[in-house]
Structures are given as structure tokens and as C-alpha cells.
């Protein structure tokens, strides 16, 4: 009989939390108990899980520790900092979707298709990478193994669901207000997002990059185990509800070809090659919604570079970019008897 776990979802009423619940049920994750936690704002409400309304508890140390073997946490950095302090020295294992501890050398940062080995020897706290990084690194890993990465330049087209329910609502509301001639309110994004592109996600650092852009660089380096990997990113918010797209230029160390890249990616776990452009087959955010894969197409030589290639990489930022990857980390822990 499979080991059954008491699972807690922290941030169960958020966009990622709800997808985690759905994926735990859909993928029949072995659970003996499921406890939903949230902040004061949502505690006492209910969330539908597999057709039943499950009540949401206020997150408190005692009830959390008493009810949890494994926690999937998606409630922001501050909550993660609290939860980590609670679980230190306990046997409770946490998979954390926030950015709080991703770069902590004691915390494995894992995409199961990329670096499952980093889960070994975990100290009961594991970080889920940033959404835009996950889909990129799923594409980069097999290509690095085959050809050696020399340099990666990424421009992102990121959906508003990356900013949670508030981001989704702001796009909807602004679109409706624009169409009805009302005053536009900007509350959540730094500029109007309806029918606009905003080259500003997160906060700007001294080097002119946002923290969102630097996550791409730093998290790729950590997961691929290449501390000086050359990756640069321009992160742009676009008026799309779900799924992030990325225009990616890769230079390789060893001789690569379009056919070779397609062959490698077609065999790569978690990748769906959609690359027959002349038939209208290429990835789009609309086509990737609620799919588990990283969709890759528009693979072609970079006519401006040497041994350089372009590709277009799309994935559901709430699924592979967040909830699905968190659940897959938990599945990997079980599979490797690390839980």
C-alpha cells in the first residue's frame, strides 16, 4: 500500500492554491487528510475540492504542525518565512512556491525534469522556482546536456495571472471600463495593463534589471548547477490572462542544428514540441491553458549569430509554472522515498 500523507495547502484560496488542490485530486496524490489554511481574510470560507466544500482554517502554528506531514505553501514571502521558522527541527516537509528561500544554499530549488537529484538530503524545506524560470529551464536542461549552453537571452510575454487574482481582476475591469468609456483605475500593476505592455515586473535593482528578471538568471544558474551561466532577461507584462510566453535566443558551445534541437526536445520530459509553422502549428498562450507541458516552437537558426538559435516557449504559469511543479516535487519526494 502506498504511503498516505496528511497534506496541508497554505494559501488554499489563492489562484495557485486552488490549482494545487485540483491537481492533488486529479493526479490522485496519496493523502490521508487534507487541511486548507489561509490568512484571516479568507479563513472560515470554503473551497470546493472534488465537488465538496472544504472549510478553510486560519493559519496557526499549532494546528499547522499537528495536521501536516507535507505542506504545499503558496501564500507569499512573509507567510513562508513564518512557516519555515515553525517547521525547523520538525519532520514536516514544505514545498514553498514563494521566492523567500529560493537562493538559500540549504534549500533545494527543483524542477523534477531538471534536477530531481537536488531533493536528496533536503532539510525538510524545498523551493518551487519562479514561473517564467520553470518553463525556460525545462527547455534549457536537455539542450545543455546535448550542446552546452553558452548564452541565453530571453524576452518574456507574461500573463496577469502571474500577479494573482488581483492581476486578473485588474485586466478584466480595465478592459470593461475602457470599452464603456469609464475612468481607468490602476491599483495593482504599475501602469494600465489593458491593451498595453509593461516592461516592469517586480522592483528595479541597481543594475537596471528587475528582481523578476534576475530570478531568471539566478534560478537557472542554481538549478543547472552552472554558477556563471550567461542568461539575461527582459520581463514584460502583457494583457493575457493565463500562460507566459518567451522569445528565447540560445548560443551553444558545441555545434547544434535545428533538427538536432527538435530531436532532443521531442524526447525531453515535460516538453511538447509544436513546430510546424507552415501549417499554423506553434505555441500560443491560448492553446497552453491547463496543459501540463512546456510548449516549444518557432525553432530556427539565429541569422545574426554563430551556432545560435531562436525558439518560442509557452507554458501555463499557474500549472507547470507554479501548482503543477509543486505537486510534481511532492510526487518526486514520494517516489524517491524522501518523504
Q: Binding to a copy of itself by residue 106, rule CB under 8 A?
A: no
Which residues are within 8 A (CB) of 7 and not within 5 positions of it... i.e. 6 or more apart? 24, 29, 31, 33, 34, 35, 68, 69, 70, 71, 72, 330
Catalytic: 244? yes
Stretch near a copy of itself under the rule CB under 8 A, chosen from 96-104, 114-122, 198-206, 261-269: 198-206
DSSP state of 322: I
Strand order in the sheet with 31-38: 46-49, 52-58, 31-38, 5-10, 70-73, 93-96, 125-127
Stretch near a copy of itself under the rule CB under 8 A, chosen from 28-36, 51-59, 108-116, 282-290: 282-290
Q: Binding to a copy of itself by residue 151, rule CB under 8 A?
A: yes
Provide the minimum distance between the beta carbon of 227 and a copy of itself in the complex, in angstroms, as a whole number. 14
Interacting residue with a copy of itself among 298, 331, 334, 336 (CB under 8 A): 298
Closer to a copy of itself by CB, 168 or 339: give it.
168
Interacting residue with a copy of itself among 44, 148, 190, 225 (CB under 8 A): 190
DSSP output for 54-100: EEEEEP-HHHHHHH-SEEEE-S-HHHHHHHHHHHTTSS-EEEE-SST
Q: CA-CA distance, 122 to 124, in Å (whole number)? A: 6
Helix count and strand count (H, E) for the chain: 9, 13
Q: Binding to a copy of itself by residue 230, rule CB under 8 A?
A: yes
Stretch near a copy of itself under the rule CB under 8 A, chosen from 95-103, 119-127, 229-237, 326-334: 229-237
Provide the minimum distance between the beta carbon of 316 and a copy of itself in the complex, in angstroms, as a whole number. 13
CB 126 within 8 A of CB 119: yes
Provide the minimum distance between the beta carbon of 30 and a copy of itself in the complex, in angstroms, as a whole number. 37
Q: CA-CA distance, 297 to 315, in Å (whole number)? A: 12
The residue count for binding a copy of itself (CB under 8 A) is 57
Q: CA-CA distance, 246 to 153, in Å (whole number)? A: 10
DSSP output for 213-229: HHHHHHHHHHHHT-TT-
Interacting residue with a copy of itself among 238, 331, 336, 338 (CB under 8 A): 238
CB 110 within 8 A of CB 197: no
Interacting residue with a copy of itself among 50, 53, 58, 197 (CB under 8 A): 197
Write phi, then psi, for 192 (nearest 5 degrees): -60, 135
Q: Binding to a copy of itself by residue 226, rule CB under 8 A?
A: no
User: Which of 73, 220, 244, 310 does the annotation list as catalytic?
Assistant: 244
Stretch near a copy of itself under the rule CB under 8 A, chosen from 32-40, 41-49, 68-76, 283-291: 283-291
Q: Binding to a copy of itself by residue 247, rule CB under 8 A?
A: yes
Provide the minimum distance between the beta carbon of 77 and a copy of itself in the complex, in angstroms, as a whole number. 21
Q: CA-CA distance, 282 to 290, in Å (whole number)? A: 17
Q: Binding to a copy of itself by residue 169, rule CB under 8 A?
A: no
User: Which of 73, 131, 220, 233 does the annotation list as catalytic?
Assistant: 131
Catalytic: 131? yes
Least Cα distance to 39 among 61, 67, 11 occurs for: 11
Q: Binding to a copy of itself by residue 304, rule CB under 8 A?
A: yes
CB 85 within 8 A of CB 325: no
Stretch near a copy of itself under the rule CB under 8 A, chosen from 105-113, 261-269, 304-312, 331-339: 304-312
Catalytically annotated residues: 131, 244
Amino acid at each position: 500500500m502506498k504511503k498516505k500523507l496528511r497534506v496541508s495547502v497554505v494559501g488554499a484560496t489563492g489562484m495557485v492554491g486552488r490549482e494545487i488542490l485540483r491537481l492533488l485530486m486529479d493526479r490522485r496524490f496519496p493523502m490521508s487528510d487534507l487541511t486548507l489554511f489561509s490568512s484571516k481574510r479568507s479563513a472560515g470560507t470554503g473551497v470546493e475540492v472534488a465537488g465538496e466544500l472544504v472549510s478553510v482554517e486560519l493559519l496557526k502554528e499549532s494546528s499547522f504542525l499537528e495536521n501536516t506531514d507535507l505542506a504545499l505553501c503558496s501564500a507569499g514571502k512573509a507567510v513562508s518565512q513564518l512557516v519555515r521558522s515553525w517547521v525547523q527541527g520538525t519532520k514536516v516537509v514544505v514545498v514553498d512556491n514563494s521566492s523567500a528561500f529560493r537562493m538559500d544554499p540549504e534549500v533545494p530549488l527543483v524542477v523534477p525534469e531538471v534536477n530531481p537529484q537536488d531533493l536528496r538530503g533536503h532539510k525538510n524545506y524545498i523551493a518551487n522556482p519562479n514561473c517564467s524560470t520553470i518553463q525556460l529551464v525545462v527547455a534549457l536542461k536537455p539542450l545543455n546536456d546535448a550542446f552546452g549552453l553558452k548564452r541565453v537571452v530571453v524576452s518574456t510575454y507574461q500573463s496577469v495571472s502571474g500577479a494573482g487574482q488581483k492581476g486578473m481582476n485588474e485586466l478584466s475591469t480595465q478592459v470593461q471600463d475602457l470599452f464603456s468609456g469609464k475612468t481607468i483605475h490602476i491599483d495593482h500593476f504599475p501602469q494600465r495593463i489593458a491593451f498595453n505592455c509593461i516592461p516592469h515586473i517586480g522592483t528595479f535593482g541597481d543594475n537596471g534589471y528587475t528582481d523578476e528578471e534576475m530570478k531568471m538568471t539566478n534560478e537557472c544558474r542554481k538549478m543547472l548547477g552552472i554558477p556563471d551561466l550567461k542568461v539575461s532577461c527582459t520581463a514584460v507584462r502583457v494583457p493575457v490572462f493565463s500562460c507566459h510566453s518567451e522569445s528565447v535566443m540560445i548560443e551553444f558551445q558545441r555545434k547544434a542544428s535545428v533538427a538536432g534541437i527538435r530531436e532532443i526536445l521531442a524526447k525531453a520530459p515535460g516538453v511538447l514540441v509544436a513546430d510546424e509553422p507552415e501549417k499554423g502549428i506553434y505555441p500560443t498562450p491560448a492553446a497552453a491553458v491547463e496543459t501540463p507541458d512546456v510548449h516549444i516552437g518557432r525553432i530556427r537558426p539565429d541569422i545574426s549569430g554563430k551556432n545560435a538559435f531562436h525558439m518560442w516557449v509557452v507554458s501555463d504559469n499557474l500549472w507547470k509554472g507554479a501548482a503543477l511543479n509543486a505537486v510534481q516535487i511532492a510526487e518526486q519526494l514520494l517516489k524517491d522515498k524522501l518523504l
